[in-house]
Amino acid sequence: MKARVTVSLKPGVLDPQGRAIRHALESLGFAGVGEVRVGKVIELELAPDTPRETVEEMARRLLANPVIESFRVDMADAPAEAP
Amino acid sequence: MKARVTVSLKPGVLDPQGRAIRHALESLGFAGVGEVRVGKVIELELAPDTPRETVEEMARRLLANPVIESFRVDMADAPAEAP
């Protein structure tokens, strides 16, 4: 099964990479570009039936820096929840 | 309006950062971790009604390296007015 962890800077944390992209887009002639934020996506191939909690623990312990980053976990082929 | 560009390495392109994450997860005791791939998400605040083609051009010209990376564009439409 696959899981995807999306890591983004928390609101208010300065994003120099995003700012550089914004300026580069303006230099290329793209008008009307406002704030740009850059994050990471980590796609993991995992053993079947790995619980979401395990992936969240991976994110907390390694993939994201909880001081400045937040993360979201998306599970592919997640076992269907009871309706 | 907002747009999100997700940039990922093309299949077959070596991903040393993903490999490092895989080994680090194993060292932390997480079992059953297979391939790990790392990509980027760029979230852009754009002028209203910016066409998708413009964002695709931004991705081709600046955000992704078309030799080794592919990208996907997701447009978020202007939020609906609260009733």
The percentage of residues in chain A with a pLDDT greater than 70, rounded to a whole number, is: 92
Mean pLDDT value of segment B51-73:
96
Domain limits for position A47: 2-75
According to the model, what pLDDT value does residue B25 have?
97
A22 falls within a domain: yes
B62 falls within a domain: yes
Tell me how close the Cα of A40 comes to any Cα of chain B, in angstroms.
5
A13 falls within a domain: yes
State whether residue A62 is helix, strand or coil.
Answer: helix
Indicate the number of domains in chain A. 1
A83 falls within a domain: no
The band of A76, judged by pLDDT with boundaries at 50, 70 and 90, is: confident
Return mean pLDDT, chain B. 92
Mean pLDDT value of segment B28-56:
96
CATH number at residue B19: 3.30.1280.10
- The C-alpha atoms of residue A50 and residue B9 are separated, in whole angstroms, by 25
**Nearest chain A residue to B60, by CA:** A25
Q: With an 8 Å Cβ cutoff, are A36 and B43 in contact?
A: yes
Q: Is the pLDDT of residue A10 over 80?
A: yes
B82 falls within a domain: no
Q: What are phi and psi of B73, to 5 degrees?
A: -110, 130
